[in-house]
Amino acid sequence: MIGWALKKANRFNEVDFLIPIPVRKSTERTRGYNQSLIICEGIAQAFPIPILEAVLYKNKKTNTQTRKDRIERGQNTTLLFGLKNADQICNKHLLLVDDIITTGATAEWAGRCLLQANPAAIHFAAAAYTLS
C-alpha cells in the first residue's frame, strides 16, 4: 500500500534508492528479519526502486526505545548510525524507510548520517506514526 501511494504522489518519481533503517545484525538474527527492509521490499513491488542495504549501518547497540520519552530517545540515537559505500548515494535522491515514527529521532540521526554523502535529497517514509 505504501508503494502504491508513493507511486501516485508524483513527488517521489525521482527517488533513486530505498534505504531501510538498519537493525543490529544480532537483532536481525534473533528476530529473523529487519522490519524496515520488509517494508522496502513491499514498496519496491509497486514502485520498482533498488534497495540499498549496504550504505547505512547501526553503530552501537541500544536498548529498546519503546519505554523512552522524547528526550531519552534523542539521546539514545546520537551517533547511532554509520555510513559506508557513500559514493553510491552521492547526488542521488533517497527514500529512507522505517516501520514507525514516534519522536522522529531515528529518522533525524539516520538522515544526518546520510547527509555526509551529499545526496541530492532525502525523503522519509514509515508505515505508522504515534501521536505522543
Q: What are the residue boundaries of the structural domains of the chain, listed by start? A: 2-129
C-alpha distances in Å from residue 70, one per residue of 9, 28, 66, 97, 131: 30, 25, 11, 20, 12
Residue 105's pLDDT is 86
Contact at 8 Å (CB) between 81 and 109?
A: yes
Indicate the Cα dihedral angle 37, 42, 47, 53, nearest 10°: 10
Please provide the average confidence, as pLDDT, over all residues in the chain. Answer: 87
**pTM given for the model:** 0.84
Right CATH for 2-129 from 3.40.1390.10, 1.10.3720.10, 3.40.50.150, 3.40.50.2020: 3.40.50.2020
- pLDDT single digits (tens) 62-84: 555 555 555 555 555 557 899 99
Q: For residues 66 and 68, what is the distance between their CA atoms, to the nearest angstrom?
A: 6
